[in-house]
């Protein structure tokens, strides 16, 4: 085979994201298509350390395209952060005849993959699976579209209650360091304000916005808060706002891990399928230590180091648009 690759290992690591199964399916079937064997590694890097391997074929991944979660399971391995742990993992790869590795996950997953590649020289390609959409080198990460649609569906339901009772709802969404979900869902649901880690709206600014819209006749409102807001979470912000502006009856809803589950959207299924094939073919073409991405609807490859050290930030013009439309 090209570059001597006869068997590729695939794993999922870190937080799960809708569409990971579609990516696994694409990797396995692309391997079969190119006459390369595929080894499934369960429980992420911890499974690599413990030797939790299983040979996969085209039938192994039947009927998983539309399933959420990951059939390979996932974990965060502290042992893999040590040289001894990574050495055990490498020995298990060689024992099982694995010549190259595809890792599906986010920032932590790629950090581990980059170090592993440097230490042992085994070719590694990453597939970005993160609902936060925070990895540099791709327009969208697997799971982001589905998670955002989940938020929109939930907020639409919350708005029914907000309107019925003339309430102000603070809805907290995922995004410890990234405001992509908050921004997109905020625009899509007509939120009066969106509070992001990258562009913080002060409580005083928020109160002034609420006062202005209340004077124009608005009787209920939705504020979307990314969990990584510098002003605190939704509960803390709601409390501070209530102390300064008590005209609204206030409620808080934290969507939490609801956003990580569910069947992937059409967009995420197609995105994951394209990335899975591109990862396998990238390895067979001699690429390594890179992340596969889709930029302007074309497959691209970005170094793992760049993907984890450069920030992928929301479009600030969309934040301006959100403020224009919230009046």
CB atoms within 10 A of CB 116: 23
pLDDT at 1: 52
At 238, give phi and psi (nearest 5°): -60, -40
For residue 217, pLDDT beyond 80: no
Residue-wise pLDDT tens digits, 28-50: 999 999 999 999 999 999 999 99
For residue 316, pLDDT beyond 90: no
Q: In the predicted model, what is the mean pLDDT of residues 84-99?
A: 96
Residue 61 burial by CB count (10 A; 0-12/13-18/19+): exposed, middle or buried?
buried
Counts of helices then strands in the chain (DSSP H, E): 11, 11
Q: What is the CATH number of domain 2-143+264-309?
A: 3.40.50.450
Q: pLDDT > 90: what percent of the chain?
A: 80
39 neighbors 56 (Cβ within 8 angstroms): yes
pLDDT at 79: 94
For residue 2, pLDDT beyond 60: no
Q: Nearest Cα to 227, choosing from 259, 204, 251, 205?
A: 259
At 249, give phi and psi (nearest 5°): -80, 125
Same fold, 2-143+264-309 and 145-260: yes
Residue-wise pLDDT tens digits, 101-156: 999 999 999 999 999 999 999 999 999 999 999 999 999 999 999 999 999 999 99
DSSP codes joined into one string, 177-230: S--HHHHHHHHHHT-SEEE-SSSPPPHHHHHHHHHHHHHTT---EEEEEETT-T
Residue-wise pLDDT tens digits, 225-247: 999 988 889 999 999 999 988 88
pLDDT at 10: 98
226 neighbors 195 (Cβ within 8 angstroms): yes
| CA–CA separation, 229 and 200 (whole Å) | 7
| CA–CA separation, 312 and 16 (whole Å) | 19
CB atoms within 10 A of CB 232: 15
* Confidence band for 196, pLDDT divided at 50, 70 and 90: very high
Positions annotated as catalytic residues are 132
| CA–CA separation, 38 and 29 (whole Å) | 9
Q: pLDDT > 70: what percent of the chain?
A: 99
Torsion sign, CA atoms 145, 305, 73, 96: positive
pLDDT at 213: 81
| CA–CA separation, 100 and 302 (whole Å) | 18
| CA–CA separation, 69 and 219 (whole Å) | 39
For residue 219, pLDDT beyond 80: no
pLDDT at 274: 98
For residue 327, pLDDT beyond 90: no
What's the whole-number average pLDDT of the chain? 93
Domain ranges for the chain, please list them: 2-143+264-309, 145-260
Who's near 279: CB < 8 A, 6+ residues apart?
27, 30, 102, 125, 126, 127, 292
| CA–CA separation, 308 and 251 (whole Å) | 36
Residue-wise pLDDT tens digits, 275-309: 999 999 999 999 999 999 999 999 999 999 999 99
Check residue 14 and give left, alpha or beta (phi > 0: left; psi -120 to 50: alpha).
left
Spell out a b/e string for 95-110, using b for 16 or more CB atoms within 10 Å of the CB, else e. Answer: ebebbbbbbbbbbbbb
149 neighbors 255 (Cβ within 8 angstroms): no
At 38, give phi and psi (nearest 5°): -130, 130
| CA–CA separation, 127 and 283 (whole Å) | 12
How far apart, in Å, are the Cα atoms of 184 and each of 45, 124, 125, 168, 300?
32, 32, 29, 20, 24
pLDDT at 218: 74
Residue-wise pLDDT tens digits, 12-32: 999 999 999 999 999 999 999
Specify which residues 250 forms β-bridges with: 168
Check whether domain 145-260 has CATH 3.40.50.460, yes or no: yes
């Amino acid at each position: 085979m090209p570059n001597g690759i006869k068997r590729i290992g695939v794993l999922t690591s870190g937080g799960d994201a809708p569409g990971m199964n579609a990516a696994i399916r694409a990797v396995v079937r692309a391997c079969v298509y190119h006459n390369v064997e595929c080894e499934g590694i369960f429980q992420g890097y911890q499974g690599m350390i413990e030797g939790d391997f299983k040979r996969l074929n085209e039938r192994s991944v039947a009927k998983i395209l539309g399933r959420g979660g990951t059939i390979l399971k996932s974990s965060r391995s502290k042992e893999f952060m040590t040289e001894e742990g990574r050495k055990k993992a490498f020995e298990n790869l060689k024992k099982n005849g694995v010549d190259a590795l595809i890792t599906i996950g986010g920032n932590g997953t790629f950090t581990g993959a980059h170090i592993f590649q440097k230490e042992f020289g085994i070719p590694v390609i990453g597939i970005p699976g993160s609902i936060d959409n925070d990895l540099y080198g791709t327009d969208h990460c697997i799971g982001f579209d589905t998670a955002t649609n989940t938020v929109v569906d939930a907020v639409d339901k919350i708005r029914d209650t907000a309107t019925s009772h003339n309430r102000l709802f603070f809805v907290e969404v995922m995004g410890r360091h990234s405001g992509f979900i908050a921004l997109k869902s905020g625009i899509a649901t007509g939120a009066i304000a969106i509070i992001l880690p990258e562009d913080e709206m002060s409580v005083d600014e928020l109160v002034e916005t609420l006062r202005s819209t209340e004077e124009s006749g608005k009787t209920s409102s939705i504020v979307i808060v990314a969990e990584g807001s510098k002003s605190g979470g939704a509960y803390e912000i709601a409390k501070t706002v209530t102390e300064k502006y008590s005209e609204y009856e206030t409620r808080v809803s934290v969507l939490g891990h609801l956003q990580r589950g569910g069947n992937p959207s059409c967009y995420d299924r197609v995105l994951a399928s394209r990335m899975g094939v591109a990862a396998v073919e990238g390895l067979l073409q001699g690429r390594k230590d890179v992340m596969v991405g889709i930029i302007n609807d074309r497959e691209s490859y970005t170094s793992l180091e760049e993907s984890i050290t450069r920030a992928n930030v929301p479009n600030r013009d969309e934040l301006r648009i959100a403020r224009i439309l919230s009046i």
